[in-house]
Amino acid sequence: MLATSPRLRATVLRVAQAIPVVVGVVIISFLLTRALPGDPAVYFAGVAADTESIEQTRVAMGLDKPLLQQFFIYVGDLSRGDLGQSLSSGRSVAEDLAKRLPASLELTLSALLLAIAIAVPLGVLAATRPGTWVDHLCRVIVTAGVSLPTFFTGILLIYIFYYLLGVAPSPLGRLDFIYLDPDHVTGFYLIDAALMGDWETWRGAVRQLILPASTLALFTLAPIARMTRAAMLTALSSDFIRTARAAGLSSRTILYRYAFRNALLPVMTTLGMVFSFALGANVLVEKVFAWPGIGSYAVEALVVSDYAAVQGFVLSMALLFVALNLVIDLLYAAIDPRIGFSSK
């Protein structure tokens, strides 16, 4: 029997360690959804329903059973991959999430890439030029990103670029009404339109994405720029940097090969947390821009106490966070081999 590699063992161990987290999320989400105010049976029975109709709706929804029995029914459905049926949309929760998740991920990843493209160079420049206008600009951007709520930033950008200047499309979804949705392959409009070779639709999707992605990027770039600056300042003041300078290495080599690579680890940790924050902030951004993602889906489900939809949303978020933490652990070892893949 072939020996299992240390990397594979460590990966399996970290996945196993995430199982109690997912179990805890299932239990907590189930209990919290049952604690939501309002009676979903009353909502779905209709405003003109009598007591008997409401009770029949409650029985049909399974809400007449004891709480413990409801939980075991829910867990049994989960073990078969059934997330339940959304009462508000009439479709299965898994189908709704599969349809809406690519929209949220496309927005989040685009915002994160934009934030990295701005924040990391800005943080490096601020660290190498402390006290200059670049450093002060970094502080202003960080302060603005932390201080401004995402919904306010989104509304402000809509007012300036759509209402006043007229250079942005209407903030109503992923594509303007003049375009047809690209054929579904990945669910990411930019990728699907490119695969079709439909560059007009691709440009339309990019234009529609700019304002919501910029809104979310301003929120996410603040911690990335701050951590990049702090990590670079720490690295540049280290003994090995002074040794490299004494050895006559060029400034570019010292900055990018030694200082920046050592500063990447705390920046990677920050990126993981920022991605989690961005998925949470997506809820407000999606509502402002009428973006059909899972954030707006969760809000709509919460309003009507749609238990299955809320639980499916929470569970999918938990699985995303677990997968993200695993990816970050693996990237740590790729960036710094000294960390290794010890499974102990």
87-108 mean pLDDT: 86
Q: What is the dihedral of CA 104, 108, 113, 115, to 10 degrees?
A: 150
Q: pLDDT band at residue 206, thresholds of 50, 70 and 90?
A: very high
Note whether residue 291 is domain-resident. Answer: yes
The span from the CA of 171 to the CA of 212, in Å, is 8
- What is the enclosing helix (H) or strand (E) of 90? none
Residues 330, 234: one domain?
A: no
In this structure, what are the phi and psi dihedrals at residue 79, rounded to the nearest 5 degrees?
Answer: -65, -25
Are residues 96 and 88 in contact, defined by beta-carbon separation less than 8 angstroms?
no
Q: Verify that 222 and 265 share a domain, yes or no.
A: yes
Per-residue tokens: 94: 């898994």
Distances (CA, A) of 21 to 27, 48, 268, 274, 301: 10, 43, 22, 20, 24
Which of 217, 226, 210, 214 has the alpha carbon at shortest distance from 278? 217
Q: What whole-number distance in Å separates Cα of residue 120 and Cα of residue 129? A: 14
Q: Is residue 36 part of a domain?
A: yes
| Of 109, 159, 101, the residue nearest 313 (C-alpha) | 101
pLDDT at 4 (0 to 100): 53
Stretch 102-114: mean pLDDT: 90
**Quick count: other Cβ atoms within 10 Å of Cβ 143?**
12
Domain membership of residue 143 as a residue range: 95-295
| Beta-ladder partners of 92 | 85
Contact 339, 117 (CB under 8 A): no
Q: Is residue 5 part of a domain?
A: yes
| Gyration radius from the chain CA atoms | 24
Residue 128 belongs to a domain? yes
Residue 275 domain flag: yes
pLDDT digits (tens, 9 = 90+) for 293-316: 888 888 888 777 777 788 888 888
Per DSSP, the three-state class of 51 is helix
Asked whether residue 341 is domain-assigned, the answer is: no
The CATH number for 284's domain is 1.10.3720.10
| Residue 60 is assigned to a structural domain of this protein | yes
pLDDT, position 229: 87
* Distance in angstroms (rounded) separating the CA atoms of residues 293 and 184: 16
Six-digit token string for 73? 């029914």
Residue 270: which of 225, 236, 234, 232 has the closest Cα? Answer: 225
Distance CA 22, CA 77 (A): 15
Shared-domain flag, residues 197 and 326: no
Q: Are residues 197 and 275 in the same domain?
A: yes
Residue 192 clears pLDDT 80, i.e. is over it = yes
pLDDT at 51 over 70: yes
Residue-wise pLDDT for 317-344, tens only, equals 888 887 777 777 777 666 665 555 554 4
Nearest C-alpha neighbor of 309 from the set 317, 318, 300:
300
Q: What is the pTM of this model?
A: 0.79
Using alpha carbons only, what angle is made at residue 196 by residues 192 and 199, rounded to the nearest 5 degrees? Answer: 90
Structure tokens at 79: 């073990």
Sequence-ordered alpha helix ranges (H) in 129-174: 133-147, 150-157
Do 180 and 287 sit in the same domain of this protein?
A: yes
Q: How many domains does the chain have?
A: 2
Say if residues 179 and 121 touch (Cβ distance below 8 Å): no
CA-based nearest residue to 211, from 175, 162, 166: 162
Please indicate, yes or no, whether residues 198 and 275 belong to a single structural domain of this protein: yes
Q: Would you say 298 and 33 are in contact if contact means Cβ atoms under 8 Å apart?
A: no
